[in-house]
Amino acid sequence: MKRKKIEESKIPWPDICRRYRQLYTGVAADILDGHGVRNHSLPPGIRPLKDHMKVAGPAFTCQGVAVGDITSDDTPMLIEMLEALTPHCVVVLNAGGDLSSSHWGEIMTLSARQRGCTGAVVDGGIRDSAFILKMNFPVFTKFFMPASSISRWELKEYQVALQVGQTSIQPGDFVFGDIDGLLVIPQTLIEKVLVEAEKKVGKERKMRQALRRGTPLQAVHKKYGSF
């Protein structure tokens, strides 16, 4: 299995992740649009378990497929993947369109957290949601399903390129998600988008203050730009 090396950032990952979590996806999406990155948002059906949950970290990608063999068991592969997780990463799991089972659960969450993983994005199903909620571990998912993936679905690869909806995801691209949805920020733009988004948040703060003072929107727009 070919593993793609994640590029090192000039800013430490803990600082990048913390600063992104202080932002919101809308402002980062606008910055990406400005850089010509249009297919940055994951499908709207992938939602957080709780509205307050955010994910922000380099993508650790996983790809699986549905199987029709009742003797299949990908547990060794799942263990290998979970033990390969890196600090600050966000798991991005593409279930390959499988609707027959869950693809993420409590034990996977415990193991991921133990490895320093900070969230999971599942383009598929999860179970054990009540236990995951008690851990306050951020998980975004498409649906809920009590059925086990064993003999229904298999993890085939990890740290490979994914396609989720219209968005391509490479290992190490930055995943940022909140109540409004999920963004994928290319590795080459992670720091640039962060800095530009922080500046835009500052402008938007001034726009709010001006509007609350009664300044007409036309004047606010002329002074501070788009919103």
Report pLDDT digits (tens) over 215-224.
888 887 777 7
- At the top level of CATH, the class of 42-182 is alpha beta
Predicted model pTM: 0.89
Q: How many whole angstroms separate alpha carbon 186 and alpha carbon 193?
A: 10
Residue 42 has a pLDDT of 98
Mean pLDDT of the chain: 93
Residue 69 has a pLDDT of 85
Average pLDDT, integer, range 185-196: 97
Residue 2 has a pLDDT of 44
Report pLDDT digits (tens) over 21-34.
999 999 999 999 99
Residue 206 has a pLDDT of 73
Query: Is residue 78 helix, strand or coil?
Result: helix
Q: Given a cut of 50, is residue 179 above it in pLDDT? A: yes
| Dihedral in degrees, nearest 10, Cα atoms 18, 19, 22, 27 | -140
Query: Minimal CA–CA distance to 58: which of 157, 226, 185, 149?
Result: 185
**How confident is residue 1, by pLDDT bands cut at 50, 70 and 90?**
very low
Report pLDDT digits (tens) over 94-153.
999 999 999 999 999 999 999 999 999 999 999 999 999 999 999 999 999 999 999 999
